Structure formats: structure tokens, C-alpha cells
Amino acid sequence: MVINASPVIIRFMRAFKHPSSEELTLERLLYALSDPVRLDIVRCLAGVEEASCGELDGGRPKSSMSHHFRVLRDAGLVHTRSVGTTHMNSLRADVLAVRFPGLLECILSQQ
């Protein structure tokens, strides 16, 4: 009896890069928050511990949302972790409060 064993390919999702608090710049933060979609994502995340990309997409195309989450991550506003095939996002409020005290609260208080 011959068992035809095919090779098993295991793919791991690559880890997301998040800037350290020293790498955060005001220019990148303000650029990331200048888009209404990204500002809405940050406002939503301010009210929850974490949320999946699907919970925050507002019915927008996945490719568009991938771009917005990348800009938010690169600016240091959002932390993204993988749970299986789901990306869970949280606001890096503690890091932002240390680097730019009061800035996030000021931005979130504006409607």
C-alpha cells in the first residue's frame, strides 16, 4: 500500500510593524487623521478595547481599508495583531499620551 503524501505548506501571517514612541512624529499623526475615514476609525477604536477590520470598514472596499489601516499603523495611532485570519486593531492611546500629552483627547473631543 502506497500513501501519496503531499507536502504540507504552512503559511504564517507576517507580523505588522509598529513604530516605537520615539519614532512618532506630529506630522505623520496629523496626516493620518486628516482623512475622514481614518479619523472615524480612530474615534470608533477610542470607544472599544479592540475591533476587527471588518467591524470598522463601514461597508468600504477591503483594498481601501487596508490602505487606511496601514497609514494609521505607520503613524503609530493603531496597533494591529493577527488572530487566525482576522486582524484585530486597538488604539495606541497610552503610547500617544506619553509622546503627545493631551493631543488625542483634544482631537477626539472635536466633532
pLDDT digits 0-9 by tens, 37-58: 999 999 999 999 999 998 998 8
16 in a structural domain: no
Phi/psi at 56 (5° precision): -110, 0
For residue 72, what are the domain limits? Answer: 23-109
8 in a structural domain: no
1 in a structural domain: no
Q: Which residue has the higher pLDDT, 12 or 30?
A: 30
Residue 36: give its domain's CATH number. Answer: 1.10.10.10
Match 497609514 to its residue by C-alpha cell: 71
Residue 50's closest CA among 102, 93, 107, 106? 93
- Tens of pLDDT, residue by residue over 13-27, are 567 889 988 999 999
User: What mean pLDDT is predicted for residues 68-94?
Assistant: 94
pTM, two decimal places: 0.83
Q: How many domains does the chain have?
A: 1
Report which residue type is found at 20.
S
